[in-house]
Amino acid sequence: MISLNIGGMHCASCVARVEKSLSAVAGVTDVTVNLLTNEARISGSKIKPEDLITAVKNNGYEASLKSPAPESHQMAGHDHLSMPRIPTWRVGVALVIALPLMLAMGLDMVAPHNMILPIMAMAYGSAVLATVSLFWLGSSLFKSAWRGIKVFRADMDLLVVLGASAAWGLSIGNLIAAMITPPTEGAMIPLYFEATAVLIAFILLGRWLEDRAKARTATAIGELHRLAPSQIRIIDRDRKTEAMKSPDAIMIGDLVIVLAGERIPVDGIIETGTAAIDESMLTGEPLPVARQAGDRVMTGTLNLDGRLEIIVAALAGETLLAGIIRSVEAAQSSKPKLQRLVDRVAAIFIPVVMAIALVTFVAWLSLGYSLAQAVIAAVGVLVIACPCALGLATPTAVMVGTGVAARRGILIANAEVLEQMGRIAVVAFDKTGTLTQGRPLVSDVLPSAGMTVERAVSLAQALQAGSTHPLATAIAAGFASLNSPESMTARDLQNRAGFGVMGRIGNHLYCLGNRRMLDDSLANAAEAVRNFDLAALDAAGKSISFLAEVSPTPRLLAVFGFSDQLRQGVTQTIESLQQLKIKVLLVSGDSEAAVATLAKQIGVDGYHANILPDQKRQIIAQLVAAQKTSGGGLVAMVGDGINDAPALKAADLGIAMGSGTDTAIASAALVLLRPEPQLVLDALRLSRRIRSKIIQGLIWSGAYNLVGIPLAALGYLNPAVAGAAMAVSSVAVVVNALSLRWGR
């Protein structure tokens, strides 16, 4: 992926031309140009950046390579978003010049045959002011238009220059004629200097407002960048020498000191110290969490009340925060299919407008109107027809919306996800770690005859040593203080995904796992299970693991029961999704009884139990195929992003919920940084709001042109009024998108 900074773009037609020029470069397979960020992202093979830059410049625009920067310095790469293209002083001077001309126009309308000031004096003053406004304050418009003309490109600046120059030239011609043949007392000189000055003023004002509104949309990324401190305090291992270093100088294994009130500058493991950590800016979780030695902490989180010594576990560009920033930037630079259609329309928009203006000019003349009236009507068409709003509608809504989502702990991979979320008809949830806490507790130990609880636990702990499986962790944590009758070490351990673990302790072969594992290991499994009363465990929806000796004496030794608590808000989330006419399913590898109990408790529409990871993928794939056949919408899969990766990829939309690790970010199109089912609903609602804002912006900008162009062609829009309307349209679209920041 190559990123370029693009200069000189003003509207959607500019975007289309830049994309076309970049797409023509050999090796390029995909191009996305964002009007809002003035950035192009290019994918392909064997692409030379200099070839891309040359292609853009040959089309009349500026281009430079956007170099990747260390995490702590990346804010510099976003400065162009907050720096206006139009200086404030230039806008102020333009408005000051336009004001007296607007007053003169109003005075002329009130008392056209009883001029308070001498006619010629007003005319000369208006000519001077309009000339200064057009050729000095509007010089940047001429330069941009000329760059386009040199490469046979017509853009919005050319339309403005043609319109303003036509009004000025017509007025100068009429003024020279009046100087040669002075007008009679009370006669009017048809001058349109106010149209020129007011048009330039409103164009500059509109772009000035647009720049600032667009800069507001970049604040989410800016806030994320600012979370990473620019200097990091490190200390050597003998705790004697401290030094301040930049993030890119920090190495894995370095020891970092973070004092109370400071932001944590690295991803790492706490070696010494305890503190309450505010992780809200990273995950959206408002309550601080307690962290101590051995806990992992993340870049950008805030140390509220303790001194911490942290071992660096990731380089600056590989932190969770860096991954989040890359994810958000990629989403903000991407385009939904709807915008690509808009870009194709915009590519032919300006030539069509120029043709309409020419037809308008000829039609007015052919109907017997004066040259001045024909010119003013044509100028109105040129000025009112601005595709700026059309080009800003989608990127502003996408950028603001994805920024808002990131601050709330929702990472949207690309703009296509927004379209997919609006078409979701089925949501399939994983159980453990998704709808439940994922931290099961050992609630029951049922030993067989001749087996003690202590020995059963010791065997289980030996088999599960080193495992990170939730049930293994539960066994270790639940019996950490148990006085084991003997020290046991398992060897030749074999982990079987979806089944359990098998290993040797002494001369005996043991297994610990689910019912499938037991059936595979013991020929008399069904008979052995009947010796245990599992009805109460099944009725309570508890997960069950079986400890068995495989050889030399095949037998069932003990049964472990595990309970897992529902996450907060699960039932309410399911109900809300169903109210949105979305079918909710539960897909789990747990036992039939445990899954059935939970399904009934939370009220899902259906469930699949006792399935392996690959079977889960197959179920999701079948749902996707069925939905496509019936045309009933898309299928979303919600899981932890690691164990459920195959199912996440098989779904139309994979939603990784919980850990927020790099694996989760890479495995799903939508990542929820907090393990809260409510975020699934929040993401759905937010995506619908973003899509709504996109459609509102496109409807507004399209309707504006459909109504404005005919009115201008019929002579109902003065060029000055048209210029003001054009500026208002662009600002209105951006402000409408910004309203996403203020909604719940």
- What residue ranges define each of the domains in the chain, with the CATH number in brackets? 2-80 (3.30.70.100), 88-219+329-390+691-741 (no CATH), 229-318 (2.70.150.10), 415-436+566-668 (3.40.50.1000), 441-563 (3.40.1110.10)
Kind and range of the H or E run holding 75: none
- Residue of 157, 254, 278, 430 marked catalytic: 430
Across 147-159, average pLDDT: 76
| CA distance linking residue 365 with residue 377, whole number of Å | 11
Helices and strands per DSSP (H, E), number in the chain: 28, 26
pLDDT digits (tens, 9 = 90+) for 114-139: 443 456 677 788 899 999 999 999 89
Catalytic annotation present for 430: yes
DSSP code of 316?
Answer: G
Quote the pTM value: 0.64
* Mean pLDDT of the region 295-309: 90
Please tell me the distance from the alpha carbon of residue 267 to that of residue 526, in angstroms, as a whole number: 49
444 DSSP β-pair partners: 561
**245-249, 304-308, 379-383: which range is least confident on average?**
379-383
pLDDT of residue 488: 82
- Interatomic CA distance for residues 286 and 271, integer angstroms: 25
Helix (H, G, I), strand (E, B) or coil at 381: helix
What gap in Å lies between CA 736 and CA 743, rounded to an integer?
11
- Asked whether the predicted pLDDT for residue 719 surpasses 80, the reply is no
Q: Distance between CA 215 and CA 83 in Å, rounded?
A: 8
Residues 445, 456 contacting (CB under 8 angstroms): yes
Residues 6+ apart with CB under 8 A from 226: 75
Distance CA 494, CA 501 (A): 6
CA angle 10, 15, 16 (to 5 degrees): 135
pLDDT at 660 over 50: no
What is the distance between the alpha carbons of residues 543 and 533, in angstroms, rounded to a whole number? 14
First to last CA, the chain: 35
- Segment 97-116 shows an average pLDDT of 61
Which of 212, 251, 200, 229 is closest to 92 using CA atoms? 200
For residue 287, give the 3-state DSSP assignment: coil
Tokens of 177: 């004629």
**pLDDT tens digits, residue range 332-378?**
666 666 666 776 776 677 788 889 999 999 999 999 998 888 988 88
**Phi and psi torsions of 49, nearest 5°:** -55, -35
CA distances 499 to 317, 448, 531, Å, are 38, 21, 22
Q: How far is CA 8 from the centre of its chain?
A: 25
Q: In this predicted model, what pLDDT tens digit does every residue of 173-193 receive, in sequence order? A: 888 888 888 766 656 677 778
